[in-house]
């Protein structure tokens, strides 16, 4: 639609799965898109666009975001509107083991070994503390939740 700039950034990250590490792309703000337009002239056309359910509002006030904040987000996302996360594990990070014999257990990173793409972790197994060496692609940050599917909404 001419006169309307739309922005729906995504986040790309690598996650360990049963088949090994896989890159995923999800909406950075699931269920929302940002639109920049002159409200008095375009609010009806934008509001009735297929897939749009409503504008974010607080009482009778439509929510707005400063242009500088949106520009900073656009800069980080680049022309493809994708922000890539490379999570580096640090000592004391809590992780969940996603593959191998310790799959499903929670552990604490004790020593990253970036050149080998492995880390040493401390975990409790059969009532004992155990130090194990695990590939970084077999680990998930603890509490990582799946984001819901993206739905267009303003």
Q: Are 88 and 109 in contact (CB under 8 A)?
A: no
The CATH code for residues 94-141 is 2.30.30.30
Report the share of the chain in percent with pLDDT over 90: 38
Query: Quick one: CATH architecture of 5-84?
Result: 2-Layer Sandwich (3.30)
What are the domain boundaries of the chain? 5-84, 94-141
Instruction: Please determine, for residue 154, whether its predicted confidence score (pLDDT) is greater than 70.
Output: no
Q: What is the predicted pLDDT for the residue at 126?
A: 87
In this predicted structure, the answer to whether residue 98 has a pLDDT above a threshold of 90 is no
Q: Based on the number of CB atoms within 10 Å of its own CB, is 138 exposed (0-12), middle (13-18) or buried (19 or more)?
A: buried
Mean pLDDT of 105-125: 86
Whether residue 144 is predicted with pLDDT greater than 80 in this model: the reply is: no
pLDDT of res. 121: 92
Q: What are 20-76's pLDDT values in tens digits? A: 667 888 998 899 999 999 999 999 999 999 989 999 999 999 999 999 998 888 888
Interval 72-90: pLDDT, tens: 888 888 888 887 765 677 8
DSSP strands (E only) in the chain: 5-7, 10-17, 20-27, 34-36, 57-58, 61-62, 82-84, 94-97, 106-113, 118-125, 128-135, 139-141
């Amino acid at each position: 639609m001419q006169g309307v700039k739309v922005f729906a950034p995504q986040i790309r990250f690598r996650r360990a799965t049963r088949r090994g590490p896989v890159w995923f792309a999800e909406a950075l703000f699931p269920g929302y898109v940002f639109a920049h337009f002159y409200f008095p002239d375009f609010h009806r056309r934008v509001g009735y666009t297929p897939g749009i359910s409503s504008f974010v509002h607080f009482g009778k006030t439509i929510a707005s975001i400063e242009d500088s904040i949106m520009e900073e987000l656009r800069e980080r996302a680049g022309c493809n509107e994708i922000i890539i996360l490379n999570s580096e594990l640090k000592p004391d990070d809590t992780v969940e083991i996603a593959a191998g014999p310790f799959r499903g257990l929670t552990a604490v990173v004790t020593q990253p070994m970036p050149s080998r793409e492995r880390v040493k972790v401390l975990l409790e197994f059969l009532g004992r503390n155990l130090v194990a060496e695990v590939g970084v692609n077999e680990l998930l940050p603890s509490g990582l939740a799946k984001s819901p599917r993206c739905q267009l909404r303003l």
